[in-house]
Structure 1
């Protein structure tokens, strides 16, 4: 029997029945990742097991957070030679093949995150047991990083799930809970909340269980099936992303079409294609965006405990009502106040729709609705941990409201405003303690937009800003600390972009052409559609706040606003909207070169504004600025952010 052994990242022990228990516990406090050192040690573990074969092997994690988060992304930026990367991938293929070919049964215990390379390692085992915990999630997130699974995942996932199902999982980057993963075929057994997954894995090893894919999965990987299905999947994917912007999804589909069903060709194609993608510009940019957004999240994770249990929202308009709904969805008790009871009722109705879309069971929806409390008398102020003001964008109205609320607010409570552009110093003048005031600028539509600008004025205390960041993370958002300057970051850089588009529109360029040019650059929607989505009244207010608007642009907005054409929310702005979707009157015109020139003309003011914002210290770093502009405006992620695009980061 092999003696117990300890490496830096792996621990191996044996029980009296001769079963080997191998625990992955990467040195340090972070999650398990499959970096070069971890994989080299894994080869040594396999050597030790081959030298003295156990009765069986159970592979598990020593980290409470999960099994493994995949490859070590920090190592990726060191690679520039695709041939070197391909060689490393082939080495990992060899390690996982050795595990899969082991003559003794191998089971794997999964809890928490099991993603990317971690899931590929699990798929190389003979039997997988997942613990049915809320935190257990399995999936392949690689396309978000500009690559696709490279440690044998395309072979083993398509073999187990069938080609279409496996590609669907990889192309969408969605993750599955334990029971959904079992239904899909990724895992073989699920341990209930009060069951021992180790015990189930031990039983599987003693019984010599080996998972076998079904015949339908095998049939879906046949040459005939691939020839029919791959073009369909490609067309569906092309409706969501462009191959020249995001090549990885299309390379994955083609890889399966050409090589699916042949194990050797799948592995070799994986090594070659993933290596080329990983060393390419798109993947480097997407990895930068990933690390920058994770940095924003880390700003709100300083406190282990939730920053708030009770939230009070002043103002039940679209923004205030949706902020309240998102907070209730996140588990907070929320009181919602407005002078107009009908606005509260409308906000509660929208919230019920959100709960119906986001929550699976009637009990969950009922609980969320119970946490969102209509508060026409404003009684929730006195017991709130955080108060968010979302009333009309008028400095005088806000100051009067703050003066009335401060005396009723608990001493520990955080006071926040959802202003989109007003300087905090202007609003804080009404407060006895201006240090507790910050901005929490959410974006419309609140349930979908991932960014919250956490605005700090001259008097805002660091503790208040830290609590604001923590609240944003508690609500499932990315916090971006910003200095209180007109427009903060997002509106400051977005306004010149919208103004440039409006100038071109007034000069005769069709709206559909302008929007097509921006989408061709990589923006999720064009500037004219975006203006309609934000609301033309809001756009007009931001332009006024940031400086004197050009007379022609102001007149164009004023005419539509006076006619009640506010954009999507009124059913008509620059476009006609029906059921929340835009109706364009004509198709875009122009050659690719002409559209690219239009995109450059519209985006140049945005890029200039980003440079000035960084120089003015609106945000702390180029990484935070790029992440904030991507999350707040949709700036093309594959370009790495506006400063990276300009070669300044």
Structure 2
């Protein structure tokens, strides 16, 4: 066997004269693609073009972390202008065209992540062989960064699986398993890990016909079909996002409608439009959000703590969802509650979550086996972490923690999922106050990435570090915050929600209030959000926070709670809902003033409280604050964060006056 070593690639030729090109980026835990990686790939391909003895090429990873996670995002910051970006993309296309043009058969052997530029590399191969398990993920997530694939992905993928499936995959940024990719036609075969090498060599030695789009899919590439499909896709997209907020998905549709995918001009158009998008405000802000996410992930990188057993007390909405999520992530979970019906409800709901996330019956059963009913609380004495998730009542929580401390092992983390109560108040009943920490999840747990890790002045440094590590173990983003009323996210969010109710009292139509924030880029309006949370819960949190702040509680909120109009869960709050929880559309009230006046006032309410949080040191810096609001509330990601957007637009940090 002969070997040629590059800095990021290793080329080996086996006894069957098959070339194996291993991607193993130097000094990196995962493979990402940068200019140097691409230049070395081109050099390796040059070498293979001259070696006429080689009968085929298999490209795979030299790392256990996956095939390739995509482009090196840090290089985005080095781009100076659109011309430089377009040139870089065009060069990448040339190299992948070089790979596609090899006369020998080529196989991408995919085990683990194969995303973005990594998948575009695989698409340039004649065949793709993927590991079938859930750890293998394929996708083109570039629209999450405000751009679209630029190394040929928007051209090759529709040729392979047809335009509808391809555009759906690109526009949704969806990731899929190897098995799902096989069903779609994205890979030629999905096999267990032990069969990957054999399968890859089969395609080199046997050279079966490569997969292509069907005749029907090919018909959809025609000009008239492209026009009809493009109208449909744009209409569908507008229900999800505005083209002014997220232009990249619309640009993908425009490119396909205009150029199709059957000529070289399609590649040129792809590079030009992607190059322009790099410098859009949306892309700049979404790249910022990406690095905020990476910063939160990195908080646990030097911590070796690996819990195996979690005990959750309280099988309500939050406790049940926390338990289910931890079980999904492979931890043993014992779930305690006084009511067997509550635990049974959690088990039923968890099964639906596992079916959605895991698909395979044996994986679903494995997750179910991790979730153990425990009415007697026997799991407390064995658990590495005990999480209290009972009713938001100080006396009840204190009683629970007295019992926990008496039975938990000395090394166990004692955690509360309280959304607002101070740790110092809960810990008055504890002997070892330094063991208590807040682990505040957001609802719904399976969708919201953020977890506030709340520490007090006496919380042990080791407990804090281990909790950060636990949050990353379950694939969530830890945000360190100091214990204070409402912590960070709820404290900033509550004035915003209460201000929206105050505006309603002034006679501003609720549809105008909600529409103003939807136009701003929020995932839902503030009044809709209150209905989703529950008016009683919002009132309870507001009532607790008013002890520590000057925020007034609007009478309208108090009155609705008194008459049990609590939001979606009771069928009526600010809006009315049917039995399935879907909002019953109400007539829109005419509003002639600017919606921007409404959004400015509501954002100002958040900014005022956010500034106070920074001044009080509740969170380390404005970047962490922005991350908290984006990943904890869904604050418009394309704006780059609350404080970032304020700085960019020079927002006045005091509420404006808006009277009806």
Q: What TM-score do you get using the length of structure 1 for normalisation? A: 0.94
Residue of structure 2 equivalent to 1:587: 588
Aligned residues: 645
Q: CA deviation at 1:495?
A: 1.1
User: What's the CA shift string for 1:220-263, capped at 9, x where partnerless?
Assistant: 21223212211111111111111111001111011111111332
Over 3 Å counting, the alpha-carbon distance change for 1:190 and 1:269 in structure 2 is same
Over 3 Å counting, the alpha-carbon distance change for 1:465 and 1:101 in structure 2 is same
Residue of structure 2 equivalent to 1:403: 402
Residue 311 of structure 2 aligns to a residue whose secondary structure is: strand
Residue of structure 2 equivalent to 1:317: 316
**Equivalent residue runs for 1:327-366 within 5 Å:** 327-366=326-365
Cα distance between partner residues in 2 of 1:559 and 1:462:
45
Over 3 Å counting, the alpha-carbon distance change for 1:357 and 1:483 in structure 2 is same
**Equivalent residue runs for 1:296-307 within 5 Å:** 296-303=296-303, 306-307=306-307
Residue of structure 2 equivalent to 1:272: 272
Cα distance between partner residues in 2 of 1:201 and 1:249:
34
Cα distance between partner residues in 2 of 1:17 and 1:448:
48
Residue of structure 2 equivalent to 1:387: 386
The worse-fitting range, judged by mean Cα deviation, of 577-586 and 55-64 is 577-586
Q: CA deviation at 1:83?
A: 1.2
1:245 aligns with 2:239: no
Q: CA deviation at 1:504?
A: 0.4
Q: CA deviation at 1:316?
A: 2.5
Q: CA deviation at 1:364?
A: 4.3
User: What's the CA shift string for 1:426-483, capped at 9, x where partnerless?
Assistant: 1112111111110011122333322211101111112212222222233332211111
User: What's the CA shift string for 1:2-39, capped at 9, x where partnerless?
Assistant: x7422211122222333322221111132111101111
Q: CA deviation at 1:163?
A: 0.7
Q: Is the Cα–Cα contact under 8 Å of residues 68 and 115 in structure 1 kept in the other structure?
A: yes
Cα distance between partner residues in 1 of 2:354 and 2:88:
46
Residue 176 of structure 1 aligns to a residue whose secondary structure is: coil
Over 3 Å counting, the alpha-carbon distance change for 1:241 and 1:546 in structure 2 is same
Unaligned runs of 5+ in 1: none
Over 3 Å counting, the alpha-carbon distance change for 1:508 and 1:550 in structure 2 is farther
Q: CA deviation at 1:209?
A: 4.7
Over 3 Å counting, the alpha-carbon distance change for 1:130 and 1:367 in structure 2 is closer
Q: Is the Cα–Cα contact under 8 Å of residues 501 and 557 in structure 2 kept in the other structure?
A: no
Q: Is the Cα–Cα contact under 8 Å of residues 437 and 464 in structure 2 kept in the other structure?
A: yes
Q: Is the Cα–Cα contact under 8 Å of residues 127 and 210 in structure 1 kept in the other structure?
A: no
1:64 aligns with 2:67: no
Over 3 Å counting, the alpha-carbon distance change for 1:212 and 1:392 in structure 2 is closer
User: What's the CA shift string for 1:280-321, capped at 9, x where partnerless?
Assistant: 1111111111111122223345455632x2222222222222
Q: Is the Cα–Cα contact under 8 Å of residues 490 and 632 in structure 1 kept in the other structure?
A: yes
Residue of structure 2 equivalent to 1:157: 157
Over 3 Å counting, the alpha-carbon distance change for 1:336 and 1:201 in structure 2 is closer
Over 3 Å counting, the alpha-carbon distance change for 1:34 and 1:589 in structure 2 is farther
Cα distance between partner residues in 2 of 1:4 and 1:447:
46
1:27 aligns with 2:23: no
**Equivalent residue runs for 1:460-471 within 5 Å:** 460-471=459-470
1:615 aligns with 2:615: yes
Residue 610 of structure 1 aligns to a residue whose secondary structure is: helix
User: What's the CA shift string for 1:535-567, capped at 9, x where partnerless?
Assistant: 112211222222258797343222222222222
Q: What TM-score do you get using the length of structure 2 for normalisation? A: 0.93
Q: Is the Cα–Cα contact under 8 Å of residues 540 and 554 in structure 1 kept in the other structure?
A: no
**Equivalent residue runs for 1:257-296 within 5 Å:** 257-296=257-296
**Equivalent residue runs for 1:35-434 within 5 Å:** 35-53=34-52, 54-195=54-195, 197-209=196-208, 211-213=210-212, 214-303=214-303, 306-307=306-307, 309-434=308-433
Residue of structure 2 equivalent to 1:561: 561
Cα distance between partner residues in 2 of 1:613 and 1:151:
43
Cα distance between partner residues in 2 of 1:306 and 1:78:
37
Over 3 Å counting, the alpha-carbon distance change for 1:360 and 1:204 in structure 2 is closer
Over 3 Å counting, the alpha-carbon distance change for 1:586 and 1:317 in structure 2 is same
Give the superposed CA RMSD: 2.2
